[in-house]
Amino acid sequence: MSNVITFGNFKGGTGKTTNATLTGLALARANKKTLLIDFDPQANATDIYFKTAANLDKEDLKFKQTLLSAIEEKNVENAILNLDTNIDFIPSSADFSLYPRFLEKKFKDSYKDRVTYFNSLMKQFIDRYDYILFDLPPTISLISDSALYASDWVLIILQTQEHSLQGAESFLKYIQEQVVDEYKAPRLNLLGILPVLLKNGAPVDKSTLNVAIDEFGEENMFNTLIRSMERIKRYSIRGIYNKDQYDKKIIKLYDSVAQEIIERAENDDTVN
């Protein structure tokens, strides 16, 4: 059975794309067939994975067609690219910002039809994957609603800096009030909250982490903590690679994120 996970937080620069791309590769290493869907028209995850492909000596990896045109042809499968063993991705591009307009034209009256459309298109390929990850833009729109509707899980990235708890809180509130209560998302549950410390050792980080544990419950917090690392920052510019001890350290870190995801998703006994 496939597990669809949205990486969420309605704020830019919190590490959604970084964590989605590194986690996708870690799930693949854990022998899980994984697909990352870049749902952000800014296409940062796409950029990282194309550069990662080049680092793997796959310079010839090319766009087949844009996600939006594949949707228009009702054949999203055509946009899937293979990055490496067990890891595929669907690249995004600027035209995907027109997806809400496409839906508004196609379904003139029903917001629910618009929100559920991508979920119906996923039926073609969903069974081929153990994990499907959505990377989202930082704004609420039909794009984020479509991904959340199609998801089993939301993994919230919590940047433990001042005010950013709010981003995670409002994301959870939005999911409950809109996506679950209003659109009746059939499967959506909280997978957990992944804490990201972008300022190592700053006192505000630790207190935010404690507030988060109180607020969201210890059982909802990932045990793995992502610290600020120069090498991770560099991956955004050069793509992900594996050359030295710093890379190995990050591989180990994300292997533990993947293990926690697998435990949470596959040992789940909640009844929706």
For binding to Mg ion (CB under 5 A), which residues are involved? 16-17, 44
Q: Please identify, using beta-carbon distances, which residue of 19 and 160 lies nearer to Mg ion.
A: 19
How many residues of this chain bind ligand ADP (CB under 6 A)? 15
233 binds ligand ADP (CB under 6 A): yes
**Span from 81-89, 95-103, 178-186, 224-232 in contact with ligand ADP (CB under 6 A):** 224-232
226 binds ligand ADP (CB under 6 A): yes
> Exactly one of 10, 16, 80, 212 binds ligand ADP (CB under 6 A); which one?
16
Residue 15 or 24 having the CB closest to ligand ADP: 15
Choices 11-19, 86-94, 161-169, 180-188 (CB under 6 A): range interacting with ligand ADP: 11-19
Cβ contacts of 264 within 8 Å, gap of 6 or more:
153, 191, 192
8 binds ligand ADP (CB under 6 A): no
Does 170 help bind ligand ADP (rule: CB under 6 A)?
Answer: no
Query: Closer CB to ligand ADP, residue 107 or residue 138?
Result: 138
97 binds ligand ADP (CB under 6 A): no
18 makes contact with ligand ADP (CB under 6 A):
yes
- Quickly count: other Cβ atoms within 10 Å of residue 12's Cβ: 14
Smallest separation (angstroms) from Mg ion to the CB of 43: 9
Judged by CB under 6 A, which stretch of 98-106, 204-212, 222-230, 241-249 contacts ligand ADP? Answer: 222-230
Using the minimum distance from each CB to ligand ADP, give the nearer residue, 99 or 254: 254
According to CB under 6 A, which one of 17, 86, 160, 164 is a site residue for ligand ADP?
A: 17
Q: Determine phi and psi for 187, rounding to 5 degrees.
A: -130, -5
Q: Quick one: which of 30, 54, 140, 229 contacts ligand ADP (CB under 6 A)?
A: 229
Which residues here bind ligand ADP, judged by CB under 6 A?
A: 12-18, 44, 138, 226, 228-229, 232-233, 236
